[in-house]
Amino acid sequence: MFKRRRKRNREEKKMESSAVCSCIPLTYPIGPSRHFPFHQSPFLVKPSRSLSLKLIPNHFPLSPLNLLESSSPLKSSATLSDSYSETITDIEWDNLGFGLQPTDYMYIMKCARGGTFSKGELQRFGNIELNPSAGILNYGQGLFEGLKAYRKQDGNILLFRPEENGLRMQIGAERMCMPSPTVEQFVEAVKDTVLANKRWVPPPGKGSLYIRPLLMGSGPILGLAPSPEYTFLIYVSPVGNYFKEGLAPINLIVEHELHRATPGGTGGVKTIGNYAAVLKAQSEAKAKGYSDVLYLDCVHKKYLEEVSSCNIFVVKGNVISTPAIKGTILPGITRKSIIDVARNQGFQVEERLISVDELLDADEVFCTGTAVVVSPVGSITYHGKRVSYGDGIGVVSQQLYTALTRLQMGLTADEMNWTLELR
């Protein structure tokens, strides 16, 4: 009888163990990682020395290499290895567009409401889990940023003004009732993520590594209130040109009925809702053959604001004008940089109200943004009237584009102290 009881106890413990294991979700399929050769460990990565990072076992894909090696170095608190793959991925860089290319690692850091961000970690890139009542899903409590990394001729990598993105996220977080990483934490997290995905940075002149930091209310909340928990996340993707035209004139249509932002709203911060609001007008414009939409102010309906995801500039003689930042327009970092570059090159730059009539009488028009850098405008259509600006890329657009991109790629001396080099 005692033998039967011991046997039954062993069987019950075995069943309990199986039940526990059956509750552990496998986020990734059991098979080789599509980003690594079968013989190469997917755990080879070199973080910067700024942060102590740890790998969480169940956040990584299981492959035959992991399953068959009984002497696997992976433990519950294994630190990242000091070696990593230097091999650039096998991508047709000349055909690289602006789309998501899954890479190797993403960065995640969390904190509770009223708390501070303190510790982040690199995890394999993949889906994340959110409660259906998460603040980001129900009330849109979230921000994002965008910046780029470029590979230099010597193989080192340059970041362009990452501290400006960190500062803008802090300002946006305050408006959206969210805690935010410090500027220092933001920059260090960007550095770690880029270095972990170093092999995805395109060769010089073939594109850039687009970096997308996210800050969101990830905790569950049913009533309208700030989320109880927040997640800061960074993922990256190699990209080419944003517009299919590349560095070629784009064609815009002025939207006079739908509006992107209102005074007192959130148009001046990079909250996610600002972008969902432009999808209808943008989709209709593209269906008609236009590249994008230019929005007017919602009060007078005659002053320029911005394109869906870009700031707008108008050139007349030696004067370059752009709408002033007054709460409804995003303070673009490329916009800020172009203003400084233009002034250094002898242009007079004005930040002020610009009427649509001035736009139609301009010598040249161009857009700026992280994704597009500088994009010349070939034509503007307003109330059915189409105005064209020359046959090709404007002289000023080309001059400013060349000056800024050469600085971003490390081809000219950085006298502005805007770039951060990673080795």
Q: State residue 360 phi and psi, 5-degree precision.
A: -70, -20
The amino acid at residue 55 is L
Distance CA 313, CA 394 (A): 12
Query: DSSP strand E in 147-298: where?
Result: 147-151, 157-160, 208-217, 229-239, 250-255, 292-296
Count CA atoms closer than 13 A to 95's CA, side-chain side.
3
Tokens for 40, please give them. Answer: 């190469």
Q: Report which residue type is found at 37.
A: P
121 with 77: CB under 8 angstroms?
A: no
Strand, helix or coil for residue 194? helix
Q: Please tell me the distance from the alpha carbon of residue 279 to that of residue 300, in angstroms, as a whole number.
A: 22
Of 54, 198, 270, 288, catalytic: 270
Report which DSSP code applies to 283.
Answer: H
The residue among 272, 7, 233 whose CA lies nearest residue 137 is 272
From the list 207, 236, 261, 245, the residue with the least C-alpha distance to 367 is 245
Tell me whether residue 270 is one of the annotated catalytic residues. yes
Q: Determine whether 317 is exposed, middle or buried from the number of CB atoms within 10 Å of its CB (0-12, 13-18, 19+).
A: exposed
d(CA 103, CA 26): 19
Q: Is residue 323 within 8 Å of 347, Cβ to Cβ?
A: no
Helices (runs of H) and strands (runs of E) counted in the chain: 10, 17
Q: How far apart are CA 49 and CA 33, in angstroms?
A: 27
| 259: its two tokens | 């509006």
Positions annotated as catalytic residues are 270
